[in-house]
Structure 1
């Protein structure tokens, strides 16, 4: 791995991901600028996940991949927080065990952060890959735009960003809510942005998501639980005095409308699949 390195700790929560974790780790190893370390946090998986990640540690440098085993399943928040706590580098990046990065992600994103040292967190666009190989082509020109808190609140579906797109400063005083199993990453992002920490979005697709945004496997499969998680997020922000009562009610109403739209989209998607099966 004789490549340039970046002072970044990559945290990957691992739960029942024996079939996908190698793709994720390989995408990190394929970076043109390598992170200093990769934290694989096994969240008490009851399948072959731990064996697979131990083999990955042996395959790569043991000082590069660090394996942390949790005795009890705590969910993605606990796994991410645990990896964060034992990380040694000044920057943290997150990746999910079923997703992958573009090979130039760290080169481009961290390079931009070095040129803008006042920025607390950067994010970027993503590409959903449901079949075939991802397109690695990047535009010759692109722009960076500031994440505006209230626009992010109102239009998180269109203007939001996925957790695997984040690179942030490790010393920021935030953590994922450990008791929250749905929408925990949304709450985390909103707390950071609403508190005025400067966040910028790079308009480049540097992460590949191997599932639809909602209605597929994983946490997003149960739409109503996810929606309840979103509503809980708004009320938590109100209790923390980050948003007003009036805005909370508006956000909840808007969120429920988006939930109904998601239900319709998923229903149509299932009908289309069933039609293909009949044919």
Structure 2
């Protein structure tokens, strides 16, 4: 059985899927399997995946869904059902890893005895023609925390899914992801895990997350709405003052979301510091 199982949900990712898969194939740690769940793609994504499946001879498994589900949550849950590894990782079809990601993260987890680990990512913003517009670090907008971090994680999800490595036993104990949550299903699961387990941060940049410039605002509104739903599940588990601070934070962020993008970048420069922002 492989040491690591990687789950990759994809939908109409013909411009990025090959790079994502090849970033796994080039890993310095090679004891892995890749489960790709195509969520009803209508472009050339499936043909590109098929070429990789044939070359890897069983190490890459492709699952094709007939109809798009509208969210990565169902493909992620479905992909995990096929896994055989001791550890689970997730990589979206738009993103990619640096070649030492698996080796560095698995080695660190074994050294410190971690069961759930995340790391930093570069975030590349691209335009409609796939051209880079700007970049930043994930940690610039979501300060990392380590250890018993439930209270901090409840305020903001600082654990990007494409950076996660976790013991499969955690999924078996706390999963699957909630299919009623389109964009906050991963955060909801991380909270369940963090409530009873320590979360470990590997302070290294080990991959790249791709975002399309100009599409974040609509997603943010939906995410804020779902965030309140998730937070309300945990009201009785947090201090009243902390809960009020969290709700104030989300109120401020909803105002932040409607500001012009140039204002948002200026505020982030002030808040997180010029030296870490591009």
TM-score category, normalised to shorter length: 0.7 to 0.9
Superposed displacement of residue 269, structure 1: 7.2
Contact 1:6–1:34, Cα closer than 8 Å, also in 2: no
Q: Please give the per-residue CA displacement for 1:86-143, whole angstroms capped at 9, x wherever unaligned.
A: 10111100011111111111111001112233x2200011111233999xxxxxxxxx
Matched residue SS, 1:211: strand
Report deviation, 1:47.
2.6
Q: Structure 1: how far apart are the matches of 2:133 and 2:259?
A: 26
Contact 1:6 1:110 in 2 (8 A): no
> Is the contact made by 1:32 and 1:107 (CA closer than 8 Å) also made in structure 2?
yes
After TM superposition, the structure 1 = structure 2 runs for residues 98-177 of structure 1, keeping only pairs within 5 Å, are: 98-117=94-113, 119-130=114-125, 131=132, 145-146=146-147, 148-156=149-157, 160-172=158-170, 173=173, 174-177=175-178
**2:251 corresponds to which of 252, 256, 277:** 256
* Cα offsets for 1:211-265 (capped at 9, x unmatched): 27xx644x76432112112111112333xx5446664444223112122223325
Distance in 1 (CA, whole Å) between partners of 2:9 and 2:85 is 18
1:79 aligns with 2:75: yes
Q: TM-score, normalization: structure 2?
A: 0.79
2:231 counterpart of 1:234: yes
Alpha-carbon distance between aligned partners in 2 of 1:149 and 1:125, rounded to the nearest angstrom:
19
Q: What is the match of residue 44 of structure 1?
A: 40
Contact 2:2–2:33 (Cα < 8 Å) also in 1: no
**C-alpha spacing 1:56/1:268, structure 2 compared with 1 (3 Å):** farther
Q: What SS does the corresponding residue of 1:129 show, helix, strand or coil? A: strand
1:210 paired residue number: 210
State the distance in 2 between where 1:34 and 1:184 align.
29
1:268–1:70: structure 2 CA closer, same or farther, 3 Å change rule?
same
Structure 1 vs Structure 2 CA RMSD: 2.9
2:54 pairs with 1:53: no
Contact 1:122 1:168 in 2 (8 A): yes
* TM-score of the two chains, using structure 1 as the length reference: 0.79
Partner of 2:56, secondary structure, is coil
Secondary structure, counterpart of 2:258 in structure 1: helix
Closer/same/farther in 2, CA of residues 236 and 63 from structure 1, 3 Å limit = same
Partner of 2:30: 34
| Residue 196 of structure 2 corresponds to residue 199 of structure 1 | no
Q: Tell me which stretches of 4 or more aligned residues in structure 1 moved more than 6 Å.
A: none
Structure 1 residues 105 and 147: alpha-carbon distance in aligned structure 2, compared to 1, 3 A threshold: farther
Q: Is the 8 A contact 2:148 2:197 kept in 1?
A: no
Is the 2:217–2:257 Cα contact (8 Å) retained in structure 1? no
> Is the CA contact (8 Å cut-off) linking 2:17 and 2:49 kept in structure 1?
yes
